[in-house]
Amino acid sequence: MSALPREIRAHDGCFHCGLPVPANSHWAVEIDGLSRSMCCPGCEAVAQAIVQNGMTDYYRNRTDFAVTAEQGAALPAQLRLYDQAASNDASRNPDGMLEATLSVDGLRCAACVWLIERRLGQLPGVMAANMNVATGRLFVRWDPAQCKLSGILGAMREIGYPAYPFDPARHEAQLRRSGRTLGRQLFIAGLSMMQVMMYAVPAYLATDGTLESDMAALMQWASLLLTLPAVVYSAQPFFRGAWAALRQRALTMDVPVALGIGAAFIASVAATMRGSGEVYYDSVTMFIFLLLCSRLLELTARRRAAHALERLQHGLPDAAQKLPAYPASRDTVTVAAADLEPGDVILVRPGEPVAADAVLLEGQTSIDVSLLTGESAPQRKLAGDAIPGGAVNAGQAALLQVSRRAGASTLASLVRMAESAGQGKPALSQWADRVAAWFVAGLLLLAGAVFLFWQWHDAARAWPVAIAVLVVSCPCALSLATPSALAAATDSLLRRGVLILRPHVLETLHRATHVVFDKTGTLTMGKPVLRDVCLYGDVERETCLHIAAALEACSAHPLAQALAAAASGKRPNASELMQFPGQGIAGSVDGIPYRLGRADFVAQLSGRFLAPAGMPGVSAVWLGREGRLLARFDLADGLRDDAHDVVERFRKAGKQVMLLSGDQQAMAQEVAQKLGIADALGNQLPEQKLAYVQRLQHEGAVVAMVGDGINDCAVLGAADVSFAMGSGAALAQSHADAVLLTGRLEALADAAESASAAMAVVRQNLAWAMVYNMIAIPAAAAGLISPWMSGIGMSVSSMLVIANALRLRGGRKGS
Amino acid sequence: MDALYLLVPLSIVIVFAAIWVFFRMSDSGQFEDMVGPALRVLQDDDRGEG
């Protein structure tokens, strides 16, 4: 149909995922008659599968690149485990079909949906495949006689979309159900509100006497009928909430809300029956509608958070190799990780994750806990050491004894913790609730007092005035002010890659006076880039770089990759390459032998020279040929692209930016200087960092800490609010209050700005609610406000509050 | 104005009919995914052969 969007067409990276293609790579797939280069074997396999299955249209119709494919994401043996589970759990239809809901990762655009549904449609035995784009769920129905769930999952993986059987026990399913009910209630309330408004307009517009009393009665009865569904069905959450609160002897916002709805409705019904007095149907329905709007906002934010968390949980392996007859026999069987019991012995091959918390039984190995702590260096483990679930075996095959069920393992419990945090209430909300409780109590007393006063003063007006007080003071604005603003901000942040784990984050971040970066690594990329080239000979800079890149083309060493990345354009080919581990590399380019590496290694070829003392944190790589030194490449950890911007934004916001680093003082100083950070302390041990932060706090500072999760739990925990950098798995930093999911530092500055904006909105909302109530309640008590005026005042004030909160959702869009 | 005595009750009936229809639609699950259909309609050969 349409041609590829320009940015995709003009791209020269991987045709499948858009990442740069490494030099000298040979991965390519023929698509539509053209050979397209791929960045990795994973993408190549996926693209190949797409073409072979006749779905090349995907590449024509897509509007975004696909997710980079992982190679061999799951082994067939592990996928087969799902077959058993599927026939146990999946609901079996009367006609013998199986059904399951899968959660799918990597959806990018419309073409993805087409690709998935079409590929599954090709599988024999698949009866239905429906992708729900909004929730990322795929519903499949298949004939167990013709195909298996593992086949479906395998086909999904083949085209690059890892899918996981969706566990309906998780609370996300429940969220969806409640979302459905809420959607219905909102619809009914909206419909009823609009209709009732229509019937109310004549009464508002008519001057005295022009509306016949018959007609007025008809309108009132019509309004009564249409308000009924809203009160009986849509307002259920408020009546339930109020009843639950009263049973616990608490006064929550639901109490006056329910009371207001109830009182206004009953008074209106009474007035309609009597045929005299004021009715408030329009106020009641609008009130219900607006309150439900704010609930829906909250629910959307919660659902999104649950979704992000669910994706994290996929970090846990699904299967394990169990040795049922250990130590007599070493035969393994593949079992589902969820079925492991404490005491089971499992085999973990190199590169595989550990399914549950376990103890190393024999031998020794090294494990990679980067998933759990962010620490990238493998840790050495001996027999008897505990190994956390989710860690990856980086050494040799190891026998482990399971110490805790997979469901209780470290990663799983952290995920659970984050879930519960999502349901907590920030202090500000709690404060608003407490104020609201007093407000409610005071209001009820006042309404009672006003009623008694008017009973004595002018008995006929006692009811209308008391109702007016209840309606006009409607705590709507108060009860909507905080939650709607916080929900909107949390939601917009999640979309920009900030997952908030503790409820207080927005509030505290806004108050923060100091932003402390806990590591040089949070500001740098963690891998070297070429910083400077020093020329010693008559060869040009570009040529030197090309020679170096050619020599290093096949090396996986980070320094080598940095050199290769720095050389642009076509590079010559090197021959006779010889690696000298720890020293450098030798080889010929265009027939001339070169050496690249340490000073003394290069000196053996080029003759002795005096190497200047290296700067801390900078690695010098020398290049020389026979009898001649050519160049020195200075490589150092590069700053993140967005680091400067972020520091600047924080400084503009009036927060003090600091760097506490375990690196050498000179290096910390250098990074700080480049970014314009005034305070930088190097050589800091974790205890020193902790003491420093505590001293700051003692002096009254509110400290926001940014770390990357390596050994910094204590200081992250001590800070008032803490952020962990890194991939989604960095959630495992149990002491961080929020995780930057994308690893972009910019998200941090976004978070700070959102926090300020959210707090500003909350303050505006609360201020408005206060001012409004302070004017409206006395006026209503004095009998100055007619009921319809109070209804309008209430509605307008609630709408203002919601609209104000909604500002937080839109606006700046994340990339 | 007398027409109103007929029209207003009629409007109530229509609203309740709308509510009934809405519940039917909601039960059939067509509000579950508000994004997907808009994307699918753009595909040329929806599930066709080829």
CB distance A180–B31 less than 8 Å?
Answer: yes
Contact between A550 and A586 (Cβ < 8 Å): no
Structure-token pair, residue A782: 């004095």
Does residue A433 or residue A203 have the better pLDDT? A203
Q: Check if A175 contacts B (Cβ < 8 Å).
A: no
Specify whether A532 is located in the same domain as A614.
yes
- Write out the two tokens for A2: 């349409």
Q: Where does a domain end: A166, A199, A216?
A: A166
pTM of the prediction?
Answer: 0.59
Residue ranges of the alpha helices (H) in A206-280? 213-229, 236-247, 254-274
Q: Which band of pLDDT confidence, cut at 50, 70 and 90, is reported for residue A73?
A: very low
In a domain, B36, yes or no: yes
Q: Are A732 and A390 in contact (CB under 8 A)?
A: yes
- How many CB atoms within 10 Å of residue A701? 17
In 3-state terms, chain B is what percent helix, strand and coil (to 5)?
60, 0, 40
A310 band by pLDDT with thresholds 50, 70 and 90 = low
Query: 3-class DSSP state for residue A279?
Result: coil
CA–CA gap between residue A445 and residue A439 (Å, rounded): 10
B48 is a domain residue: no
pLDDT band at A455 (very low <50, low <70, confident <90, very high): confident
The proportion of chain A whose per-residue pLDDT surpasses 70, expressed as a percent, equals 75
More confident residue, B37 or B19: B19
Q: Give the SS3 label for residue A760.
A: helix
A607, A639, A671 - which closes a domain: A639
Phi, psi angles (nearest 5°) of residue A517: -90, 125
Across A392-420, b (16+ Cβ under 10 Å) vs e yields bbbbeebbbbbbbbbeebbbbbbbeebbe
Q: Which of B18, B4, B29 is nearest to A229 (CA)?
A: B18
Residue A79 vs residue A778, higher pLDDT:
A778
Q: Amino acid identity, residue A229? A: P
Task: List pLDDT tens digits, range A126-174.
Answer: 888 887 766 677 888 888 888 888 888 888 877 777 777 765 445 556 6
Which residue(s) pair with A102 in the sheet? A138, A165
Token readout for A595 is: 């050496």
pLDDT at A191 over 60: yes
Report pLDDT digits (tens) over A482-526: 777 777 787 778 777 787 777 778 888 888 888 888 766 677 776
Q: Which of A156-160, A260-264, A390-394, A698-702 has the lowest mean pLDDT?
A: A390-394
Is the previous residue joined to A612 through a cis bond, with omega within 30 degrees of 0?
no
Contact B33 A135 (CB under 8 A): yes
In this predicted structure, which of A421-430, A712-721, B7-16 has the lowest mean pLDDT? A421-430
Under the banding of pLDDT at 50, 70 and 90, the label for residue B50 is: very low
Amino acid of residue A484: S
Does residue A363 sit in the same domain as residue A404?
yes
- Report the range of poorest mean pLDDT among A143-157, A305-319, A327-341: A305-319
Which residues from B are below 8 Å from A199, CB to CB?
Answer: 8
Measured distance CA(A266)–CA(A753) in Å, rounded: 46
Contact A219 B11 (CB under 8 A): no
For residue A319, what is the enclosing H or E element?
A: strand A319-322
Which among B12, B40, B47 is the nearest to A226, CB-wise?
B12
**pLDDT tens across A731-751, in order?**
444 567 787 766 678 888 888
Inter-chain residue contact B42 with A61, CB threshold 8 Å: yes
Helix (DSSP H) and strand (DSSP E) numbers for chain A = 26, 28
Residue A463 maps to a domain: no
Active site amino acids of A: 518
Which two three-digit tokens encode residue B30? 């067509």
From chain B, pick out residues whose CB is under 8 angstroms from the CB of A61: 42-44
Tell whether A219 is within 8 A of chain B (Cβ): yes
Q: Which of A122, A140, A166 is the last residue of a domain?
A: A166
Both A553 and A620 in one domain: the answer is yes
Residue A301 — very low, low, confident or very high, per pLDDT cuts 50/70/90? low
* Whole-Å CA distances, A590 to A543, A547, A623: 12, 9, 15
Residue B41 near chain A (CB below 8 Å): no
- Range of lowest pLDDT (A66-70, A158-162, A413-417, A461-465): A413-417
Distance from CA of B28 to the nearest CA of A (A): 12
Give the type of residue at A73.
A
DSSP-derived secondary structure letter, A782: T
Residue A225: its chain B contacts at CB < 8 A?
12
Better-scored residue on pLDDT, A268 or A104? A268
Over residues A222-234, the mean pLDDT reads 93
* Structural domain contains residue A623: yes
CB contact under 8 A, B26 and A134: no
| Residue B45 within a domain | no
A residues 107..126 contacting B (CB < 8 A): 109-111, 113-114, 117-118, 121
Same domain (yes/no): A34, A82: no
Neighboring chain A residues of B35 at a CB cutoff of 8 Å: 133-134
Q: Name the residue in chain B with its Cα closest to that of A219.
A: B8
Whether residue A306 contacts residue A175, with contact meaning beta carbons closer than 8 Å, is answered with yes
Q: What is the pLDDT of residue A233?
A: 93
Q: CB within 8 A of A52, min separation 6: which ones? A: none
Mean pLDDT of A525-539: 77
The domain tally of chain A equals 4
To test the contact with chain B by mutation, choose from A2, A188, A219, A300 the residue with the greatest count of B C-beta atoms within 10 A, namely: A188
Across A226-253, average pLDDT = 85
| Residue B50 located in a structural domain | no
Examine residue A359 and state whether it is found in any structural domain, yes or no: yes
User: Are residues B44 and A191, on separate chains, in Cβ contact within 8 Å?
Assistant: no
Q: Are residues A538 and A629 in the same domain?
A: yes
Domain count, chain B: 1
* Residue of chain A minimizing CA distance to B8: A222
| Residues B26, A183: C-beta atoms closer than 8 Å | yes
Q: Is there a single domain that holds both residue A541 and residue A618?
A: yes
User: What is the average pLDDT across A566-572?
Assistant: 71
pLDDT of residue A367: 77
Please name the member of A133, A135, A215 whose beta carbon is closest to the beta carbon of B1: A215
What is the span of the domain harbouring residue A20?
A: 6-61
The pLDDT tens digits of the residues spanning A690-721 come to 888 889 888 888 888 887 655 566 677 778 88
For residue B7, the distance in angstroms to the closest alpha carbon of chain A comes to 11
User: A519 near A636, Cβ under 8 Å?
Assistant: no
CB within 8 Å: A191 and B15:
yes
Rounded Cα gap, residues A622 and A534, in angstroms: 9
Give CA–CA dist A694/A516, Å, rounded.
Answer: 12
pLDDT at site A787? 60
Indicate if A37 and A120 belong to the same structural domain: no
Contacts of A218 in chain B (CB under 8 A): 4-5, 8
A143-146 long-range contacts (CB < 8 A, ≥24 apart) are A143/A96, A143/A97, A143/A98, A144/A87, A144/A96, A144/A97, A144/A98, A145/A96
The answer, yes or no, to whether residue B43 has pLDDT greater than 70, is no
Domain contains B19? yes
User: Tokens for A737?
Assistant: 């209050």
**Would you state the pLDDT for residue A57?**
79
Q: What is the mean pLDDT of chain A?
A: 76
CB A531 within 8 A of CB A636: yes
* Contact yes or no for A133/A113 (Cβ under 8 A): yes
- pLDDT score for A210: 74
Helices (H), A275-340: 281-313
* Structure-model confidence comparison of residues A73 and A490, the more confident one: A490
A175-184, A294-303, A751-760 — which is least confidently predicted?
A294-303
Helices (H), A534-663: 541-552, 558-566, 599-606, 643-652
**A351 falls in which pLDDT band (50, 70, 90)?**
low
Closest Cα in chain B, distance from residue A106 (Å): 15
With CA atoms as reference, the chain A residue closest to B18 would be A191
Question: Looking at the predicted structure, is the pLDDT value of residue A410 above 70?
Answer: no
Smallest CA-to-CA distance from A490 within A635, A253, A659, A298 is with A298
Residues A37 and A134 in one domain: no
**Contact between A47 and A38 (Cβ < 8 Å):** yes
Residue B28 contacts residue A238 (beta carbons within 8 Å): no
Rg (CA), chain A: 33
**Contacts of the segment A541-549: beta carbons below 8 A, 24+ positions apart:** A541/A631, A542/A567, A542/A569, A544/A623, A544/A630, A544/A631, A546/A571, A546/A572, A547/A572, A547/A574, A547/A589, A547/A594, A547/A596, A547/A623, A547/A630, A548/A596, A548/A621, A548/A623, A548/A631, A548/A633, A549/A23
In A, minimum Cα distance to B30 occurs at: A132
Whether B18 contacts chain A with CB within 8 A? yes
Check if A132 contacts B (Cβ < 8 Å): yes
Q: What single-letter amino acid sits at A24?
A: N
Question: What are the chain B neighbours of A180 within 8 Å (beta carbons)?
Answer: 26, 31-32
**Cβ separation A132–B19 shorter than 8 A:** no
In this predicted structure, the answer to whether residue A609 has a pLDDT above a threshold of 50 is yes
Mean pLDDT of A536-552: 81
Average pLDDT over residues A601-606: 82
- Chains A, B: CB contacts within 8 A come to 76
Host domain of residue B33: 3-40
Tell me which range, A447-451, A487-491, A617-621, A687-691, is most confidently predicted by mean pLDDT. A447-451
pLDDT attached to residue B10: 92
Q: Are A762 and A477 in contact (CB under 8 A)?
A: no
Chain A residues whose CB is inside 8 A of the B1 CB are 212, 215
CATH of the domain at A352: 2.70.150.10
A133, closest residue in chain B (CA to CA): B36
Q: Would you call B47 an interface residue with chain A, using a CB distance cutoff of 8 Å?
A: yes
Reported as a single tens digit per residue, the pLDDT across A74-120 is 455 666 666 666 565 545 566 677 777 777 776 766 677 777 888 88
Average pLDDT of span A440-457: 86
Sheet of A345-348, strands arranged across? A333-336, A319-322, A345-348, A398-402, A358-362, A386-387
Which chain A residues are within 8 Å of B26, Cβ to Cβ?
A: 180, 183-184, 187
CA-to-CA distance for A370 and A728, rounded, in angstroms? 11
Q: What integer pLDDT is reported at residue A477 of this predicted model?
A: 64
Would the CB atoms of A113 and B18 count as touching at under 8 Å?
no
Is A118–B4 a contact, with Cβ atoms under 8 angstroms apart? Answer: no
Give yes or no for a contact between A630 and A651, defined as CB atoms under 8 angstroms apart: no
What pairing do the DSSP bridges indicate for beta strands A738-740 and A721-724?
parallel
Q: Which chain A residues are closer than 8 Å to B41 by Cβ?
A: none
Residue A585, beta-bridge partner list: A579, A596
Residue of A nearest to B50 (CA): A54
Residue window 646-705, chain A: list those with CB within 8 Å of chain B.
none
CA trace torsion A647, A649, A650, A653 (10° rounding): 160
Q: Is B1 within 8 Å of chain A by CB?
A: yes
B49 within a domain of the structure (yes/no): no
